[in-house]
Amino acid sequence: MRVDELQREGYCQCERANCVGKKGKVYCYFGRDLAPWVVGTGLYKECYDEVMVCPRCDREHKRGHIGSSWACGRPYASQATRTDQG
């Protein structure tokens, strides 16, 4: 990925000690073609897609959809900042 295509980079922001299928945390590159929600989560793609019991709504959905208005049963008040501070 070229530098001018990069929107964000850094280690995966999931709460796991090791990213899904990896030993340790993955360093991620997020291109400008990705949706703001995806980039904002800061999750490695495999961690983002991992289906889990949501700590907010107690339903199963993708880790990357925690707090989202389209998938989570208890969405964040502010979708832009992913907080309950509306």
Q: For position 86, what pLDDT does the model report?
A: 67
Contact 15, 29 (CB under 8 A): no
Q: What is the DSSP letter of 43?
A: -
User: Can you tell me the distance from the alpha carbon of 7 to that of 30, in angstroms, rounded to the nearest whole number?
Assistant: 6
Q: What is the DSSP letter of 6?
A: E
Cα torsion 66, 72, 74, 78: sign: positive
Q: For position 4, what pLDDT does the model report?
A: 85
pTM: 0.90
User: Can you tell me the distance from the alpha carbon of 48 to that of 43, in angstroms, rounded to the nearest whole number?
Assistant: 5
For the segment 51-80, what is each residue's pLDDT rounded down to a tens digit?
A: 999 999 999 999 999 999 999 999 999 999
For the segment 19-57, what is each residue's pLDDT rounded down to a tens digit?
A: 999 999 999 999 999 999 999 999 999 999 999 999 999
